[in-house]
Chain A
Amino acid sequence: MGGFVFDVAHLLAGGLVLGSFMLLYQDRLYALLNAFALQAVLLALSVAWQAYGQDAPHLYITAGIALVFKAIVIPVALHRIVARLGIHREIETAVSVGPTMLAGIALVALSMVVMLRVTPDADPLAREDLAFALSVVLLGFLMMVSRRNAVSQVVGFMSLENGLILAATGAKGMPLVVEISVAFSVLVAFIVIGIFLFRIRERFDTVDVNALDRFRGERQ
């Protein structure tokens, strides 16, 4: 039984890492949002499985929060924002797919090396979860760095937070208060970013953050 629990947890957490790669691969905004929703569903499943495996029922609430907010509310809201800004056909060309993928692989390898070195005697489940969570976080950073469009930077930020939740649940669960506050702070951040998006758009007629550089006088 222990083996089976571990295998399914491994499968779901690995699916999250793969989801991050799917996010990196997309170059159209709607496809990106759908991939993000898929990753959030995987996160909810993964957290629910952790709740079952660790016998920690309060984690089901975390899974529910992840499912409702990250898989439904935020993607739908982002869909609306994209539709209202009229940028749904936007194709981004900041860094091409190939180099980004290779950089992503290097980050995953890095996080494995770091995590497997520093946690040799931890519980194997927590160990594996931490390694995957670190790679999801790093891939989220990579996403924010390699995209120019503000909407996809928001998606990168949100996927980074998926990694944080995975890490938190893998470490034998953290207090419910902390989890709920993290979830809400992310929601607040999302709202703030949403408002900013519209401000940027109002000012510069675009959500390409390169426009900000021009405004500061760094680039003519």
Chain B
Amino acid sequence: MIADLLIQGTQMTLVLLLAPLLTGFVRKVKARFLRRRGPPLLQPYRDLIRLMRKEVVLAHNASWLFRIIPYLIFAGTWVAAALIPTFATGLMFSWTADLIAITALLGSARFFLALAGMDVGTSFGGIGSSREVMIASLAEPAMIMIVFTLALLAGSTQLSTVAGVMLSPTIGLRVSLGLALIALILVAIAENARIPIDNPATHLELTMVHEAMVLEYSGRHLAVIELAAALKLLLYVSLIACVFVPWGLAPAGATLGALLAGAALYVAKLAVGGFLLAVFETSIAKMRVFRVPDFLGVALMLGLLGTLLLFVSRSL
């Protein structure tokens, strides 16, 4: 019991500590591809500490909601990240919640963010919220279709079970899995506001989505929101790693050695994921906002097709 609690606690701290590092790593690799030196790897941590020290500036008409929303977003994202088996399956929390719960937690975090964008009443916040909700209305059905595909294959929506089924030799080569993987990557790119959809590194009013919503935040509120964004990126990379490359996950009740090996492999998987993301982002151009429904429509289509094609495979 104590050991379970300890492992779960380590997992939660680990994701929290690694999240800014992953963001920094992606930025560094991207800068390198563009022949720039790039900020140091630890820059996101420094940014967060700097923001924490700064004074909070609030608009006069900001409501109480505006002040608590950063913490709500952070809490929702952190709980969702805690549910994903990162280096070990069968963690304490993984039996109480599943993929649908993770989607719902992220969905509520997004709902609060859109609410915060509209709270102060500036025009940019409204634009950002409206765009965010447009993206969400397509990304969430796609995510749900992916969850259905995995659930039909594994017979459960619990991530530990899914990872176990993926490791077993009965799974074989399946088109549906490939489609689900591509759809999940597309959804992850859209949800994390990465390049073809949105670019959080700029403040270009024609295209900004995420930045427009958090424009009014400052100080520790902004720090918490940035940390939640980094955590969300890590969450999606770990989700893809857990479902599609589950090798090396320590089983329930493993020894300390297996846990450490799992953790090392997890960090390696994160590095590979971040590197591939940086390669993808430097090789593609930003999309017009009105092309975004097409992009996400593909994800939705792939998810639907994956679910359909399952019915003609050897056995469900």
- Residues in B whose Cβ lies below 8 Å from that of A56: none
CB pair B179 A25 closer than 8 Å: no
Q: Which of A3-27 contact B (CB under 8 A)?
A: 3-4, 6-8, 10-11, 14-15, 17-18, 21, 25
Give A5 Cβ to nearest chain B Cβ, in Å: 11
**Alpha-carbon separation in the docked complex, A14 to B306 (Å):** 10
**Alpha-carbon separation in the docked complex, A14 to B176 (Å):** 9
Give B138 Cβ to nearest chain A Cβ, in Å: 10
A112 within 8 A of B: yes
CB pair A124 B314 closer than 8 Å: yes
**What does the 1/0 interface line of A13-51 toward B look like (CB < 8 Å)?**
011011001000100000000000000000000000000
**What does the 1/0 interface line of A108-133 toward B look like (CB < 8 Å)?**
11001001100000001001100110
The stretch among A65-73, A97-105, A181-189 that forms the contact with chain B is A97-105
Give B148 Cβ to nearest chain A Cβ, in Å: 14
- Residues in B whose Cβ lies below 8 Å from that of A4: 172-173
CB pair A98 B297 closer than 8 Å: yes
Give B298 Cβ to nearest chain A Cβ, in Å: 7
CB pair A3 B301 closer than 8 Å: no
| Residue on A nearest B296 in the bound complex, by CB | A98
**What does the 1/0 interface line of B300-311 toward A look like (CB < 8 Å)?**
010011001101
CB pair A101 B175 closer than 8 Å: no
B293 within 8 A of A: yes
**Known pairs A8-B173, A97-B297, A108-B305; A128 contacts B312 (CB<8 A):** yes
**What does the 1/0 interface line of B273-316 toward A look like (CB < 8 Å)?**
00000000000000000000110011001001100110111100
**Known pairs A4-B172, A18-B179, A97-B297; A10 contacts B304 (CB<8 A):** no
**Alpha-carbon separation in the docked complex, A116 to B175 (Å):** 18
CB pair A21 B301 closer than 8 Å: yes
Give B135 Cβ to nearest chain A Cβ, in Å: 15
Give B47 Cβ to nearest chain A Cβ, in Å: 39
**Known pairs A116-B311, A131-B312; A15 contacts B304 (CB<8 A):** no
| Residue on B nearest A25 in the bound complex, by CB | B298
B54 within 8 A of A: no
State which of B173, B293, B305, B308 has its C-beta within 8 Å of the C-beta of A10.
B173
- Residues in A whose Cβ lies below 8 Å from that of B305: 17-18, 21, 105, 108
Chain A interface, DSSP helix/strand/loop, else mixed: helix
- Residues in B whose Cβ lies below 8 Å from that of A17: 305, 309
| Residue on B nearest A27 in the bound complex, by CB | B294
**Alpha-carbon separation in the docked complex, A8 to B314 (Å):** 12
Q: How many residues of A contact B (CB 8 A)?
A: 29
**Alpha-carbon separation in the docked complex, A15 to B312 (Å):** 14
B50 within 8 A of A: no
**Alpha-carbon separation in the docked complex, A102 to B308 (Å):** 13
**Alpha-carbon separation in the docked complex, A6 to B172 (Å):** 10
CB pair A7 B173 closer than 8 Å: yes
CB pair A10 B297 closer than 8 Å: no
CB pair B173 A15 closer than 8 Å: no
Q: Which of B132-175 contact A (CB under 8 A)?
A: 172-175
Give A139 Cβ to nearest chain B Cβ, in Å: 11
CB pair A3 B312 closer than 8 Å: no
CB pair B308 A109 closer than 8 Å: yes
CB pair B301 A10 closer than 8 Å: no
CB pair A97 B294 closer than 8 Å: yes
- Residues in A whose Cβ lies below 8 Å from that of B172: 3-4, 7
**Alpha-carbon separation in the docked complex, A25 to B173 (Å):** 26
| Residue on A nearest B177 in the bound complex, by CB | A11
- Residues in B whose Cβ lies below 8 Å from that of A14: 175-176, 179, 309
- Residues in A whose Cβ lies below 8 Å from that of B301: 21, 101-102, 104-105
**Known pairs A105-B304, A109-B308, A131-B312; A10 contacts B175 (CB<8 A):** yes
- Residues in A whose Cβ lies below 8 Å from that of B179: 14, 18
**Known pairs A14-B309, A108-B308; A3 contacts B314 (CB<8 A):** yes
Give A155 Cβ to nearest chain B Cβ, in Å: 19
Give B34 Cβ to nearest chain A Cβ, in Å: 27
**Alpha-carbon separation in the docked complex, A124 to B176 (Å):** 17
- Residues in B whose Cβ lies below 8 Å from that of A102: 301
**Alpha-carbon separation in the docked complex, A104 to B175 (Å):** 18
**Known pairs A17-B309, A108-B308, A127-B312; A98 contacts B174 (CB<8 A):** no
Q: Which of B2-56 contact A (CB under 8 A)?
A: none
- Residues in A whose Cβ lies below 8 Å from that of B174: 7, 10-11
**Alpha-carbon separation in the docked complex, A3 to B170 (Å):** 10
**Alpha-carbon separation in the docked complex, A120 to B156 (Å):** 27
**Alpha-carbon separation in the docked complex, A191 to B179 (Å):** 36
**Alpha-carbon separation in the docked complex, A132 to B309 (Å):** 9
3 A-B pairs closest in CB distance: A14-B175, A7-B173, A7-B172
A18-B305, A128-B312 are known; give 8 further A-B pairs, CB within 8 A: A7-B172, A10-B312, A11-B178, A18-B175, A21-B301, A21-B305, A101-B298, A124-B314
